[in-house]
Amino acid sequence: MSSPRVSVVIPVFNGLPYLPETVASVEAQTHPNVELVLVDGGSSDGSREWIERYERANLIKEYLPAGTPAAANWTRASELATGDYVKLLCQDDLITPSALSSQCADLDAHPTAGMAIAQRDVISASGKVLTAGRGCAGLPTGLVNGRRSLEVAARKGANIFGEPLAVLFRRDALAQALPWDDAEPFLLDMFFYAKVLSTYDVVVRKEAVGAFRISGSSWSTRLAAKQRQQFRAWQRHVEAIVPQPWYRIAEARLNNDKTTAIRRMAYAWLRVRGDLSRPAGG
């Protein structure tokens, strides 16, 4: 039986200088059958020209007009995927060589799972590892009820699922949850996960399958107060799916406050070190 075909979709907007390294991490996959989808959302930094020059087997390219919202770019990239499984990879993140093979195996082994998640390293703009093996807190390895996983995430007050680099979707589950919605832009991924996990289970792997880069272009480095506000909105959304007693809700709010404080300190430290951006060509 041949290996399932996997699509990695990369929505791009002003993705240089990181985009070539991100694409290289896809090229280095041990999985034998990988489709790559690149959708540019109106870049002005040379990203579109880089994509136009780039060629490989199993490649889909599309160019959207300037001003295309991020969610529309993510949605179109997802729609173009033809693989049985789909990973959305942000333009400055990385995946390890065995990421697709290991997560495909997880979904193969658990047909009720709509998505597979794993841990990820957190790196600075220059690629320095800041935290290794982050994510999946409070979840056991293996198959977990989707609604139960949402309850754990809400109570933890943090994104225990990880950024999209740590997630592999079953394409049917992804398609049913589309479109991506950026009404709460800092929680674009979390609201989408909630749509999937309200219906499907999740399979958990306690090892890093990639690296999330903290950089000046990351939404996660801006406006911590808005991040906190939007996570509270996500917690309320989950509470409507999986009702919680008042003391659990209070615990969730407190944990989110702690997460916000830690994030602020981390970004401040990186700014002092000058490691929130990489010079073009660096």
pTM over 0.75: yes
pLDDT at residue 98 greater than cutoff 50: yes
pLDDT of res. 246: 41
Q: Report which DSSP code applies to 4.
A: P
Q: What is the mean pLDDT of residues 4-23?
A: 95
Pairing label, strands 113-123, 167-170: antiparallel
Whole-angstrom distance, CA of residue 170 vs CA of residue 175 = 9
> How far is C-alpha 155 from the chain's CA centre?
20
Higher pLDDT, 12 or 157: 12
Q: Give Cβ neighbours of residue 22 (< 8 Å, ≥ 6 apart).
A: 10, 15, 89, 90, 91, 92, 93, 94
pLDDT band at 231 (very low <50, low <70, confident <90, very high): confident
- When the pLDDT of each residue in the chain is averaged and rounded to a whole number, the result is 87
Structure tokens at 93: 């993140």
DSSP 76-94: HHHHH--SSEEEE--TT-E
Structure tokens at 11: 């929505």
Task: Give the pLDDT confidence of 164-182 residue by residue, as tens digits.
Answer: 999 999 999 999 999 999 9
* Architecture label for domain 6-272: Alpha-Beta Complex (3.90)
Task: Give the pLDDT confidence of 257-280 residue by residue, as tens digits.
Answer: 555 555 555 555 555 566 455 554
Share of the chain above pLDDT 70, in %: 81
pLDDT at residue 233 greater than cutoff 60: yes
pLDDT band at 247 (very low <50, low <70, confident <90, very high): very low
Range of lowest pLDDT (44-58, 86-100, 138-152, 219-233): 219-233
Structure tokens at 229: 């506000």
pLDDT at residue 124 greater than cutoff 90: no
Domain ranges of the chain: 6-272
